[in-house]
Amino acid sequence: MCMSKEEINRALEQWYHDMLESDKITRITSSVPLSEEQRKREVAENDSLISDLKKCLGKNDFFLTEPHYDAILLDNGINVDKQSIEYLEGRQRFLVVIKKFIETIRQRDAGEYEYWTTMNNNAVPTSNLNPVSVTTQSEPERSCSTELVSAIFNKYVEHNKDGLEPRTITDYKGIFSVFLEIIGDKPIGKIVKGDIRNFRDIVSKLPPKFKTIKVFKGLSPEEVLAQKYPKQLTSKSVKKYVLVISQLFKFAISEGYAESNPADGVTVQEKSKKSERDDLQRDAFTREDLQAIFNPKFYLADEPSKPYRFWVPIISLFTGARLEEICQLYIDDVRQVDGLWVIDINNNKDPKGNKDKKLKNQSSIRQVPLHNFLIYKLNFNLYVDSLRDRHETRVFPDLEKYQGRYSHAASKFFGKYLDDVKVKSDTKKFHSFRHTFINYLKMKHGEDIVIKQVVGHAIDDMTFGRYGKRYPVSKLDEMIQGIDYGIDLTPLTKSKYVLK
């Protein structure tokens, strides 16, 4: 197909509409509403991005957007002569289209969702459209004061059981049990804003996962507080507690069990960075910790059992990958890209076409180069090949899914292992491998967008994050191969899982 101005314009218009449709789907399928603070932050970020795009237009700067523009043309089968006036006009128009798209998103964030139904027209208010009249059979009135909140919660879980992961439902049940212990099982219409504030205030002083701490077994939240435990839930966790209760009341209102949401407007005060443990260093392993963990006397002692016990920790140490990301890997996810071995962390379907993987967010999708120690000393690729020869599909077939996750058994085993080697504490667990990896790279390279791509963090720079082209695997590999934790891991080459 020869390139023309009309074809380029149609391709850009389609991109615009596809992006708006994707944003709409994301909004209407989200089960967790944005907090007011998040909404304001997104509006501010979009304002900043619009300002940046204006500068790019003024300076004729297409560095960040041109690769994406080229991809759109390629996807639409448009032959590109980069010196033609049609290409150059389209490149500039793409900046304008991006600006319009961000302005639309900003309006939606501000609650003006009726705007920008087409690309070429100004805002078209939906109030001009004729509403569809729907007649429904009248329902008997429900009392807002007699239904116990526990009964409503059970209805809420039943209503959402197909849309929530088992693990999420378990989390919600745990939060609600704390709510009942603090507030009591009242009729839902009798719960007032003061109850929610009391719930928030007590929860904010509770230790993390206090239900699992042995010394607190059988104690009420108030009795736990009396123990004056030094660590408290983070602001983020407290917000989650309040949010779950707020979601319950929204469900109750929609079903006619309640008339108002007492959790609406109940805010959570941000704690200081020290109390929030924002500095990951406190959760990272020290060199002494790593020496104890990978001491062959202990690390290789469990050789006859499960291969994941050998591979998963060492993979996380050299990739920074999350536990679930490693445990759910398929054999095809370990492959070569541009001649370099990587683990491809994705949400692809399994060989039977089932959606089997769970990722934290879209930024988690990435390719992480494998350190030379994993490939040339431990021969991880040969281990994967041996699985392929046995017609296995997953890298760790011994790990079975539990509550929607493959990492349950690995997490349980490693927690006990850290106890055995005298490393485990309230702030050190499997996730500390990831913190150790991130801290090492930050100490060596500073805050770097490449690091964020390697570990699957969202990129804060809005222009680069939305439209910047990802770095090639070779660039990431340079960073990975420079990792040296200063400990001797060569004894691990004696493992039965290191194939020759």
The CATH number that applies at residue 320 is 1.10.443.10
Structure tokens at 212: 């699992």
- pLDDT for res 2: 42
Same domain, 105 and 183: no
pLDDT at 54 over 90: no
Containing domain of residue 78, as a range?
Answer: 5-123
Domain identity same for 305 and 444: yes
Paired with 275 in beta bridges are none
Burial of 368 (0-12, 13-18, 19+ CB in 10 A): buried
Please give the average per-residue pLDDT across 372-398, as a whole number: 95
| Same domain assignment for residues 237 and 301 | no
Q: Decide if 130 is inside a domain.
A: no
More confident residue, 29 or 175: 175
Helix, strand, coil shares of the chain, percent, nearest 5, are: 55, 5, 40
Quote the pLDDT of residue 134.
Answer: 33
The domain boundary residue, chosen from 220, 248, 271? 271
Amino acid at 293: I
Per the domain annotation, does 138 fall within a domain?
no
Other beta carbons within 10 Å of 156: 22
Record the tokens describing residue 203, joined without a space.
Answer: 């929860």
What is the residue-wise DSSP string for 411-472? HHHHHHHHHHTT--BTTBSTTHHHHHHHHHHHHHH-S-HHHHHHHTPPPS-HHHHHHPPPPP
Edge to edge, the sheet with strand 366-369 lists 334-337, 340-345, 366-369
Same domain, residue pair 247 and 306: no
| Residue 21 domain-assigned (yes or no) | yes
Query: Domain check: are 435 and 341 in the same one?
Result: yes
Query: What is the CATH classification number for the domain harbouring 246?
Result: 1.10.150
Residue 185 lies in a domain: yes
Q: What is the pLDDT of residue 64?
A: 63
115-129: per-residue pLDDT in tens? 444 444 332 222 232
Domain count of the fold of the chain? 3
pLDDT of residue 31: 58
Residue 134 falls within a domain, yes or no? no
Which three-class secondary structure state does DSSP give residue 62? coil
Q: Is residue 137 part of a domain?
A: no
d(CA 316, CA 325): 9
Residue 282: is its pLDDT beyond 60?
A: no
Q: Which of 147-151, 161-165, 201-205, 474-478 has the lowest mean pLDDT?
A: 161-165
Q: Which residues pair with 336 in a beta bridge?
A: 341
Q: Rounded distance, CA 409 to CA 306, Å?
A: 11
Do 105 and 252 lie in a common domain?
A: no
3-state SS, residue 294: coil
Q: Is the pTM of this model over 0.85?
A: no
Q: Which of 411, 375, 376 has its CA nearest to residue 396?
A: 411
Query: Hunting for tokens 């004696």 — which residue is that?
Result: 494
Mean pLDDT value across the chain: 80
For the cut 80, the answer to whether the pLDDT of residue 373 exceeds it is yes
Residue 499 domain-assigned (yes or no): no
Residues 451-455, mean pLDDT to the nearest whole number? 86
Backbone angles phi, psi at 396, to 5 degrees: -125, 75
What is the residue-wise DSSP string for 234-261? -HHHHHHHHHHHHHHHHHHHHTTS-S--
Task: Tell me the angle at which helices 235-254 and 149-160 cross, rounded to the nearest 10 degrees.
Answer: 90
Mean per-residue pLDDT for 24-30? Answer: 69
Which of residues 123, 158, 183 is at a domain's end? 123
Mark whether 177 and 301 lie in a shared domain.
no
The answer to whether 20 and 118 are in contact (CB under 8 A) is no
Please check whether residue 369 is in contact with residue 483, taking contact to mean a CB–CB distance below 8 angstroms: no
Token output for 366? 């990435």
pLDDT of residue 312: 96
Largest alpha-carbon pair distance within the chain? 76
Whether 86 shows a pLDDT value over 80: the answer reads yes
Cα atoms in the 13 Å half-sphere on the side-chain side of 208: 12
Name which of 137, 121, 56, 119 is nearest 91 in CA terms: 56
- Regarding whether 187 and 114 lie in a shared domain, the answer is no
> Residue 127: its pLDDT value, please?
29
Query: Does 293 lie in the same domain as 221?
Result: no
Per DSSP, the chain holds a count of helices (H) and strands (E) of 21, 3
On whether both 225 and 345 belong to a single domain, the answer is: no
Give yes or no for a contact between 233 and 208, defined as CB atoms under 8 angstroms apart.
yes
* Final residue before a domain boundary, out of 271, 302, 323: 271
Distance between CA atoms of 460 and 466, rounded to whole angstroms? 10
Is residue 70 domain-shared with residue 191, that is, in the same domain?
A: no
Rounded Cα distance, 13 and 293, in Å: 55
> Is residue 139 in some structural domain?
no
Please indicate, yes or no, whether residues 111 and 206 belong to a single structural domain of this protein: no
pLDDT band, very low/low/confident/very high, at 131 (cuts 50, 70, 90):
very low
Q: Residue 237 has what pLDDT?
A: 87
Q: What is the pLDDT of residue 411?
A: 92
In this prediction, residues 413-419 reach a mean pLDDT of 91
Q: 310 falls in which pLDDT band (50, 70, 90)?
A: very high
Work out the pLDDT band at 139, boundaries 50, 70, 90: very low
